[in-house]
Amino acid sequence: MKNVIKIFCIIALTAIIGFTMMACGDDEDEDVPTLAIPSAYLNTVWTYKFGGDSGPTLTFTSSTTEFSNDYGTFTLKSTITPKEGYDVAFSAIRDRVVSSTIHFKKDGSALLYDNYEYKKKN
């Protein structure tokens, strides 16, 4: 009888360890973008692609979650589906209100902010 109880305890302990390992497994999905501005955009300034350098500017500092324009500082809020031709996109928040969207190519070659194309300022 003692051997049956020992075997039952070993089986139960093995099951508990197995379920714990499954629950603590690596759940990261490499296809899900992180909430961070791509590094190619950090420490750069962007202006309207069409309209010269006198238009509104977007300024990216070393922060991977914030950027600013002529109206204030925006913080990335959540990932969204990027528009065709872009790699990652986010909704951005200012003063606790989701108020803009921003789309990036990871290589730093293109930026779409609130449906306006931007170019890197010289």
As to burial, measured by CB atoms within 10 angstroms (0-12 exposed, 13-18 middle, 19+ buried), residue 86 is middle
Q: Which residues of 45-81 are buried (b: 16+ CB within 10 A; e: fewer)?
A: ebbbeeeeeeeeebebeeebeebebeeeebebbeeee
The pLDDT tens digits of the residues spanning 71-86 come to: 889 999 999 999 999 9
The pLDDT tens digits of the residues spanning 16-74 come to: 776 666 666 555 545 555 899 999 999 999 998 886 666 679 999 999 999 998 888 99
Per the CB < 8 A criterion, the answer to whether 116 and 107 are in contact is no
More confident residue, 43 or 115: 43
More confident residue, 11 or 57: 57
Q: pTM for this structure? A: 0.69
CA neighbours within 13 Å on the CB side: how many for 1? 0
What pLDDT does 106 receive? 94
